Structure 1
Amino acid sequence: MKRRTILFGAAGLLAMFGTALFAWRSSSSRAPAANRAIGVRSSGEAPAKPDPAAFYEASLPDLDGRAVALRDYLGRPTVVNFWATWCAPCVQEMPYLDEIAKNSPELGFVGIGIDTEANIKQFISKIPVSYKLVVAGHSGISMVRALGNAAGGLPFTVLLNEDGTIFDTILGQVEPEDLRHRISKLIVKSKT
Structure 2
Amino acid sequence: MKKNKMMNAVAIVFLLGLVLWGVYDYAQKGKDQAAGDSVLQNKEVGLNAGNIAPNFKLSKLDGEAVSLSDLKGKKVILNFWATWCPPCQMEMPHMEKIYKEYEKQGVVVLGVNLTFTEQDPAKVPVFVQDYGLSFPIALDKKGEVSDLYAVVGYPTTYIIDSRGVISKRYQGAINYDIMRSALAGIQ
Q: Do they fold alike, i.e. is TM over 0.5?
A: yes
Cα 1:54–1:173 change in 2 (3 A) is closer
CA distances 1:107-164 after superposition (whole Å, capped 9, x unpaired): 122100002542211212311211111101351420331xxx5xx1110110011111
Aligned residue for 1:78, secondary structure, equals strand
Equivalent-residue separation in structure 1 for 2:127 and 2:58 (angstroms):
19
Equivalent-residue separation in structure 2 for 1:54 and 1:142 (angstroms):
13
Instruction: Say whether residues 1:67 and 2:59 are aligned partners.
Output: no
Cα 1:143–1:184 change in 2 (3 A) is same
Equivalence for 2:47: 50
Deviation of 1:69 (Å): 2.3
Deviation of 1:175 (Å): 2.6
Aligned residue for 2:125, secondary structure, equals helix
Deviation of 1:54 (Å): 6.7
Question: Share of identical aligned residues, percent?
Answer: 26
**How many aligned residue pairs are there?**
134
TM-score by length of 1: 0.63
The 4+ residue runs of structure 1 with deviation greater than 6 A are none
Equivalence for 2:13: none
In 2, are the aligned partners of 1:79 and 1:158 still within 8 Å (CA)? yes
Deviation of 1:181 (Å): 1.1
Which of residues 115, 123, 126 in structure 2 aligns to 1:122? Answer: 126
Equivalent-residue separation in structure 2 for 1:113 and 1:119 (angstroms):
11
Which of residues 127, 132, 138 in structure 1 aligns to 2:136? Answer: 132
> In angstroms, what is the RMSD of aligned CA positions?
2.1
CA distances 1:67-114 after superposition (whole Å, capped 9, x unpaired): 112210112211111100011100111011100110002212210000
Whichever residue aligns with residue 185 of structure 2, its letter is K
Equivalence for 1:181: 181
Aligned residue for 1:103, secondary structure, equals helix
Equivalent-residue separation in structure 2 for 1:161 and 1:125 (angstroms):
28
Deviation of 1:176 (Å): 2.1
In 2, are the aligned partners of 1:82 and 1:144 still within 8 Å (CA)? no
Name stretches of at least 5 consecutive residues in structure 2 with no aligned partner: 1-45
Equivalent-residue separation in structure 1 for 2:142 and 2:52 (angstroms):
20
TM-score by length of 2: 0.65
In 1, are the aligned partners of 2:74 and 2:162 still within 8 Å (CA)? yes
Whichever residue aligns with residue 129 of structure 2, its letter is S
Equivalence for 2:147: 142
In 1, are the aligned partners of 2:52 and 2:166 still within 8 Å (CA)? no
CA distances 1:45-73 after superposition (whole Å, capped 9, x unpaired): xxxx52765732x2111112221122101
Bigger Rg, which one: 2
Name stretches of at least 5 consecutive residues in structure 1 with no aligned partner: 1-48
In 2, are the aligned partners of 1:144 and 1:156 still within 8 Å (CA)? no
Equivalent-residue separation in structure 2 for 1:119 and 1:54 (angstroms):
29
Whichever residue aligns with residue 69 of structure 2, its letter is R
